[in-house]
Every structure is written in C-alpha cells, then in structure tokens.
Chain A
Amino acid sequence: EVQLLESGGGLVQRGGSLRLSCEASGFTFSKNAMSWVRQAPGKGLEWVSLISGRGGSTSSADSVKGRFTISRDNSKNTLYLQMDSLRVEDTAVYYCAKMDQSTSDNFDVWGQGTLVTVSS
C-alpha cells in the first residue's frame, strides 16, 4: 500500500524554524516528484514546493521563496521541508503529496498532514 506519513509539525514563534518530514512507503520513491501543499485555517489548498525525483530540480511558491527549502533523501524514502523565518500566516496543515509518475502534473497520493502553528 502506498503511504505518506508527515511529522515534525508543532507550535513555533514568529521568526523561528521548523523541519517537516514525510516518510514514504509502497512505491519507488526516487522515481516520483514530490510536493508540499498547505491549508491555512478556513482557507483552500495552497501549493508550497516541488522537488524532482532525484532532487536536482526544485520550485517554490512566491509566498515561501527564500524562507522554505524542500529536499529529499532517497536512501531514506523521506521528503523534507525546512521552514525558516516563519510568519503567522504560515500557520496551516502541511500535506506531503506524491506526483503521479505517469502524468507528472497531478498528485495521486497524499499524506494525512501535520499542523504547524506560528504564534506572534
């Protein structure tokens, strides 16, 4: 069974840092691009960052560019999101999502999410 399990969320003060992890199982991790998507309270889904299967290519939303860094360790089947200079508006549930290998433009598996709360 394909599974994604996020961890690392919690409460942090404005300006602080946090690292999220997403452990993958049930598929060949290194063959799939992966992404982070978030949902702020009462808001819709917002794409955050994307990384290619081998990790050589990344992209991020303007709202997090320069503050968040996506990375992966294919030997550990794990995706990461390093979040620095956190803002109150970064408060959200953060989802890890697997990009569909056959289409490369949509997400076919999602994790349950991990909550990040940034206090002022």
Chain B
Amino acid sequence: SYELTQPLSVSVALGQTARLTCGENTIGSKNVHWYQHKPGQAPVLVMYRNTNRPSGIPERFSGSNSGNTATLTISRAEAGDEADYYCQVWNSVVVFGGGTRLTVL
C-alpha cells in the first residue's frame, strides 16, 4: 500500500524556519497537499498541489516537492503555528501521512 512518511515531531524557535517533510519514493510525481490541525478544531488546508497557498494562508507558508520528499516550509514561525500538520496525496484513493506535531519554542 502507498504510505507517506512524516516525522512525529519538529521543534522550531519562535521567528525561525520550520521544515516539515513528507516522504515516499515516487512523491515527486504526485500533487501533495498539506493540512494544519489544531486540537478541537477543523483541519485547515494550508498548501495545495505542492506550492499553492489558499487565500487567507500567510506568505510565510511555502511548499516544494521533488524526488522522494515534499516539504512544507514555515518561515518566521509564530506561536499560532503550533499544530499537527498532515500531508496528503491522491493515489486512486486518498492517502494521509501520519502527521507531524510542530512545537514552537
């Protein structure tokens, strides 16, 4: 089965840059989407088709996808960015990565 690998946790200092990865051997040929999920809230789409930000998502969020790794980059991290982040692709069915807990120190 198709599996997306995400690190369980990433920490970043306030104001610094966080890079969240999503790995799979053929992911560079896929469209990767990213969701931010805070406890008790609905997930929010923060990046679609690798590099596209939905309206309302800050420019601090950017994405890339090449080879076997897709990356969501959060620049100038803020306390409000603390959340779980999930990557997702379409592979005949919907596939989510296991999620990364982002901690802003």
Contacts and interface: CB of A to CB of B under 8 A. Distances in A.
A64 to B, nearest CB: 12
Interface residues of B, number: 24
A11 interface: no
Contacts of A61: 93
Interface on chain A toward B: helix, strand, loop, or mixed SS?
A: strand
Interface stretch (A23-31, A70-78, A79-87, A108-116): A108-116
A105 B87 CA distance: 12
Given A50-B94, A105-B31, A45 B45 contact: no
Contacts of B97: 44
Given A44-B84, A47-B93, A47-B95, A111 B42 contact: yes
8 cross-chain pairs, A with B, having the tightest CB-CB distances, nearest first: A105-B90, A47-B94, A106-B33, A44-B99, A110-B42, A45-B96, A110-B43, A44-B98
Interface of B: 31, 33, 35, 37, 41-45, 48-49, 54, 84, 86, 88-90, 93-99
